[in-house]
Amino acid sequence: MTGGDWLLVLPAAILGLALGSFAGCVAHRWLAEVSILSPARSFCDSCGRTLTWGENIPVLSYLLQNGRCRGCGAPIGVRNLLIELACGLWFGILAWRFGPSWAFAVYGAFGWACITAAFIDLDSFLLPDFLTLPAAALAYPAAAWLLGRGWLEPLIGALAGAAFLWILRFAHMRLRKVEGLGLGDVKLMLSIGALTGPLALPLLFILAGVTALAAGVFYLRRPDADGLRTAVPFGPFLALAALILIAWKG
């Protein structure tokens, strides 16, 4: 660990908020099945009005508008705000923890993809390939060369992590006859395992399992709950556990 610089925390957090605003846009457009590229400018879901630049300022615009569209008054939804705050917090933590470094860039990009994927998973129970596969393809060379872990350790981490989830998925389908873990979780695990390394995996799965169980209590109270068969997306908890371990151990 090189150690971060307090003076960089605020600019890094602001960078995170801006990237979080983009993440919110990506998640929203993916969930709404709208093209990510066009229209280029953000718009209101209810009235279709193109947003002004002021309405695209992260967090602040939400607070100033009381979470409503200025044109039609429709509620904006809290997802974008939470994504922006999560990315801002993550980039602030990285600056404090690692300072300007390859670790900051690699974990920043990884965290951005994780947070975007996690919020999509919370809504749709899907982890889209357009996030998990590039993350997997980039995480391995980044861990091996940019973070100096060598070629073997990230490879074992990625394969062992994905294999463990794949076996859990297989066992669950055999025993319960329903899909408990998606293939998206297995794909996400490739990038997580490459970056955390094999030794962190036991703790990672414990952390993800415990937080997912705790959240399961919340999901049980939803109107569409189905007793012990109630589905809980696992991706957000894998992502959360990965970010906690990276911030903690580096």
Nearer to Zn ion, 68 or 172 (CB): 68
Question: Closest separation between CB of residue 76 and Zn ion, Å?
Answer: 9
Distance CA 107, CA 113 (A): 10
Closer residue to Zn ion in complex, CB, 44/114: 44
Contact 108, 33 (CB under 8 A): no
Shortest distance (Å) from residue 42 CB to Zn ion: 11
Q: Which pair of tokens denotes residue 56?
A: 């695209």
Contact string (CB under 5 A) for Zn ion, positions 40-79, x = contact:
----x-xx---------------------x-xx-x-----
For residue 45, the minimal CB distance to Zn ion (Å) is: 7
Are 96 and 243 in contact by the 8 Å Cβ rule? The answer is: no
Query: With contacts defined by CB under 5 A, how many residues of the chain interact with Zn ion?
Result: 7
Q: How far is the CB of 123 from Zn ion (least distance, A)?
A: 20
Q: Which is nearer to Zn ion, 42 or 230 (CB)?
A: 42
Taking the complex as a whole, the smallest distance from the CB of residue 90 to Zn ion amounts, in Å, to: 30
182 closest CA partner among 171, 168, 173, 169:
169
Q: CA geometry: angle at 128 spanning 123 and 134, to 5°?
A: 140
Q: How far apart are CA 39 and CA 43, in angstroms?
A: 8
Residues 77-116 that bind Zn ion (CB under 5 A): none
DSSP letters for 225-239: --GGG----SHHHHH
Residues that bind Zn ion (CB under 5 A): 44, 46-47, 69, 71-72, 74
